[in-house]
Structure 1
Amino acid sequence: MNPTAIINTNKGVIEIELFEDVMPITTGNFITLAEQGFYNGIQFHRVIPNFMIQAGDPNTKGPDKSTYGQGGPGFTIQDEFVDNPKLSNVRGTISMANTGQPNSGGSQFFINTRDNVNLDFDKQPLTSKHPVFGQVLSGMEVVDAISTTETGPNDLPVEPVVIESVTIERGGSN
């Protein structure tokens, strides 16, 4: 049974099944960061209607908005390329963000608000694609509400959308 991430935001709760069974590196990294409290207080710093919402940058805890989107955990993880039909960037999936370079993911992630299969990899060694590592189980209405929030420069929400906590549950009903 895969673990579940409960993402509590100031806009509501998003529950996500993490595909630990097929994406152990990416999900393991997300789980470790969540259990360390890394995501607590982080803002969704990039919100693009009819595309995705992105979070995971610790710089968003600070006042310098010019650095939002540039931060990470201080390390990167290995890319995972798995040929599995459930690992497509479709509406409601969560994916690892990266810089477009190999093995550049760390803590930033995004949730697709529409089908974005152009972000999928076809086969190795494609390096600029974004691996899916989970699926929203409940709270898609929260994701949609976040995706339509008013934004300013660099797609940053005018009113901060904050992750208050991320809790990992194992052995649930998924």
Structure 2
Amino acid sequence: MASLCLSLHQTLKPLAAPRLTPLSLSFPTSTISLLPSPKRLSTLTTRASHTPTPATERVISIASYALPFFNSIQYGRFLFAQYPKLGLLVEPLFPILNLYTSLPYASFVAFFGLYLGVVRNTSFTRYVRFNAMQAVTLDVLLAVPVLLTRILDPGQGSGFGMKVMMWGHTD
């Protein structure tokens, strides 16, 4: 092993010092210039125009996260049972949540409505479509614990399976 290490050290050559060259990157909205200077290693100059996102696009982006939020409330049932005051934060949403859960296939329709109506619609900006796609992805990922729960079915008793499920929901 020692001879192997010696042979590797003998074949390695020291690295040469890097040379500094001017670098300038131009983008449609900004210019970044890195210039070497004898006093400093580099100077960073950034000029960018910032246009704020309209309020309507922000509202649509926020509303798209209602789908995974409504589908994730079920995972907090043991947490809400353990800490009743925490449930007071969600209580104002109960009428909307009751309407959402009372309609058959509401989650299915909302999922495809969000995907086909917002994510695939190029008339919306990239900001809105990105947030809608994030919400759709979260909603799909929320289905994984439901599938695992149905496969591992802890039953109605207070056995080990129920304790593991309660632990998974609260911790």
Query: TM class by shorter-chain length?
Result: under 0.3
| Structure index of larger Rg | 2
Query: Relative contact order (C-alpha < 8 Å, sep 6+): which is higher?
Result: 1
What TM-score do the two structures reach when normalised by structure 1?
0.25
- Bigger strand share: 1
What TM-score do the two structures reach when normalised by structure 2?
0.25
